[in-house]
Amino acid sequence: MIDMHAHWKPAELADALRARTKGARIERNADGVEVLKTRYGDSMMGEAFDHVDFHLERMDRQGVSTSVLSLLGSFCWIEGQPVEVSVPLCRLVNDALSRICQQHEGRFLAHAALPLTDIPVAAEELDRALGLPGIVGAQLPANGFLTAKAAEKMRPLLEVANRRHGVFFIHHGPLPGDPFPKHSHSDTDNARRRNGTLDMQACLSSAMVTLCLTDFLAPYPNAKIYLHNLGGNIPYEVERMDHRCLLDTPKEELPSARFRKSQVRVDCNSFGPRAIEAAVRLYGAERIVCGTDGTEFGVDWTLKALAEAEIGEVARQQILEDNAAAMLAHRASSRQREKTAA
């Protein structure tokens, strides 16, 4: 298995977390012990960050050949800081991820973190990061692609990815300054269900509409893009889209046909066999990659879902490994050409 959705909690950010007074931060508790505080609760320092040996042992046990690392959401605060703060922190993370990839060649690849308060500066860091061993692209927040108009500001990043054959992992999340999460635990019922499923899936669906049903990506044929969680709710809402299209704009190409022709990919993280079957029917198995959130539970859940999905062995192998290998090969070939030219 190639796991295209494996989040990472870098210990290199510990000092920066100690300096923070709100949001994700490190503080001493009543016993004088340092803990990492996030909106999800407190973690003891021994559990607050990820360790390579722990992940390699889990990967070996569960048959994960390669994990593509990306910053965990609660650590993405570094991307929303003023550039004088964000750039050094993003570089610290990107350099550290590259070292992991070099030290364990073939087991890890990584997506860069970018200083998103200034997109031209973020494009410069993406260009730099793509020159580092093991960095294949960047993780970007889906809020940047909710509409074609909103996505215009992201074009400098797409231009770099197109030139460097980069891979973008579009993940549910805010742009700097966006209110997030939408629902706090204190002001609504079922906040986790609302934030972690209803709002997340709606956000990803909107990004898929922008990327697949407009010509926004037309200038960037070399950029590879995938979204998590089957690209939102598209596989089981597309029939409704087609119905509305036939009623409202009957001369327009059906949304299902446009989704099917798009080169945007999705991962199967978090979903069960019936949803995976629906995604295969819509996108085709060749457009789906494996994703697990980089956890033991996620791997077990995903492997079980793929085993039970009635999609055939060829499609199962495509999703587990072949599609990701082909997508990443474009980046590897581009990097080799760049090294040769240099």
Q: Domain ranges in the chain? A: 2-7+50-341
Q: Is a pLDDT exceeding 90 seen at residue 331?
A: no
pLDDT, position 106: 95
- Rounded to whole angstroms, the maximal C-alpha distance in the chain is 68
- The 8 Å CB, 24+ separation contacts for 41-48 are 48/9, 48/11
Beta bridge partners of 83: none
Interval 257-316: pLDDT, tens: 999 999 999 999 999 999 999 999 999 999 999 999 999 999 999 999 999 999 999 999
Confidence band for 336, pLDDT divided at 50, 70 and 90: low
| Average pLDDT of span 50-74 | 96
Rounded distance, CA 46 to CA 138, Å?
Answer: 27
Residues 271 and 227: beta-carbon distance below 8 Å: no
How high is the mean pLDDT of the chain? 95
pLDDT, position 185: 74
Rounded distance, CA 62 to CA 58, Å?
Answer: 6
pLDDT, position 341: 65
For the record, the structure tokens of 99 come out as: 């070292």
| Average pLDDT of span 105-125 | 98
Confidence band for 184, pLDDT divided at 50, 70 and 90: confident
pLDDT, position 332: 72
Interval 206-247: pLDDT, tens: 999 999 999 999 999 999 999 999 999 999 999 999 999 999
pLDDT, position 337: 62
For domain 2-7+50-341, say whether CATH 3.20.20.80 is its number: no
pLDDT, position 231: 98
pLDDT, position 186: 75
